[in-house]
Amino acid sequence: MREETIDPELTADERRLLEDLLHDENDDFSAAGLQRRNFLKQVMAAGGGVLALQLAGENNLLAQAVPASPSAVPPGTINTVKLSLKVNGVVRSLTLDSRMTLLDALREKLALTGAKKGCDHGQCGACTVLVDGQRVLSCLTLAAGCEAKSVTTIEGLAKSGKLHPVQASFLKNDGFQCGYCTPGQICSAVALLKEAKNGEASYVTKDLRTKGPVQLSPEEIRERMSGNICRCGAYPNIVAAIREVHEGKDAAQAWSFVEQTNHSS
C-alpha cells in the first residue's frame, strides 16, 4: 500500500526519508514533533536533492530555533541572573535578564513553545504551567524567582509516548477549536483534578466546613476553570473532557440537535 504511494523516481535515500515521514505522520500525536525533528536532521544529513531542499525550508518553518546554549549571556542583558531549575524532569541552567518571565524563558530560551503568550497580563490563562505541582501563570512569574523549582509544561505531561488522560480526553471530547488556549487549559485541568482530590474548595462549594475530596459538578468545573479563556468558545467540550477524567466514565454529550420544527407555518 505504502509502496504505491511513493514516487518511483526518488533516489534510495529520498525514498527512505519519505517513508520515515509517512510513518511519522501516522505516528502517535505526542511523539510526532520529536520524530519530525529526527527526520529533518536526517534530511540535512542526506544533503542535496530537491526534496531535501524543500524540507530544509520546512525545517525553518516547523523546527524551533533552539538557542545554542541557554546559559550563554545573551547580548543586551542588563541585570544578569543565573539559575538552575527543573523543566519537565530535566535540570536546566539559564542565564537571563532579570526582567525575563518564566513564559519567555520557556519559549525563547528552552524552545518549549507549548505554553502560549495570550494576553501577557494574567487575564487569559494561555500561559498556565505547573510550578512545584501548582498551576500558575508563567507570564506573571519572573524566571529569576524559579531557582531550584520544578516546572511542568504541556510538553512534559505525556509519558513514554502515552498522552496524559486529560490530553486524551480533550482530543476525544473536541475540547478545542483553534487550539491556542489548549496547553493552558490542559495544564490547568490537570491541577484542578488534583485540587479537587485534595478537597480544595471553590467559590461555588456549598459547605466549606465539609472535608474530603470534592465531587466536580459542571458548575464546579466552570468556576475552577474560569482563569482559562477560550475565544473559540469550546467551553462545553472542555467541561465534558474534564468531567470524563474526573468521573472515569464517558461524559454525556454536551450538545443536542434541536427538535424538528414545522416549516409549513
Which of 17, 202, 221, 234 binds another protein (CB under 8 A)? It is 202
- Closest approach, Cβ 182 to another protein, in A, equals 16
- Closest approach, Cβ 103 to another protein, in A, equals 11
Which residue type sits at 203?
Y
Which of 46, 63, 111, 140 binds another protein (CB under 8 A)? It is 140
Q: Is 49 in the site for another protein (CB under 8 A)?
A: no
- Strand arrangement, sheet containing 128-131: 90-97, 80-87, 150-152, 128-131, 134-137
Stretch of residues binding another protein (CB under 8 A), selected from 8-16, 17-25, 32-40, 115-123: 115-123
Per rule CB under 8 A, count of chain residues that contact another protein: 40
DSSP 136: E
Question: E strand or H helix at 95, and its extent?
Answer: strand 90-97
- For 219-241, b where at least 16 C-beta lie within 10 A, e where not — what string? ebbbebbeebbbeeebbbbbbbb
Q: Is 125 in the site for another protein (CB under 8 A)?
A: yes
Residue 203 or 255 with smaller CB distance to another protein? 203
Task: Identify the residue whose cell numbers are 468531567.
Answer: 243
Q: Is 195 in the site for another protein (CB under 8 A)?
A: yes
Q: Is 104 in the site for another protein (CB under 8 A)?
A: no
Rounded Cα distance, 59 and 55, in Å: 6
- Closest approach, Cβ 35 to another protein, in A, equals 32
Q: How far is CA 215 from CA 64, 169, 228, 239, in A?
A: 41, 18, 21, 14
Q: Is 199 in the site for another protein (CB under 8 A)?
A: yes
Backbone φ, ψ for residue 236 (5° rounding): -60, -40
Nine cell digits for residue 188: 490547568
Q: Is 193 in the site for another protein (CB under 8 A)?
A: no
Q: Is 117 in the site for another protein (CB under 8 A)?
A: no
Rounded Cα distance, 54 and 52, in Å: 5
Q: Which of residues 208-247 bind another protein (CB under 8 A)?
A: 208-209, 211, 222-224, 226-228
Task: Identify the residue whose cell numbers are 534510495.
Answer: 12
Residues that bind another protein (CB under 8 A): 78-79, 81, 97-99, 101, 120-122, 125, 128, 134-137, 140-142, 144-145, 188, 191-192, 195, 199-203, 205, 208-209, 211, 222-224, 226-228
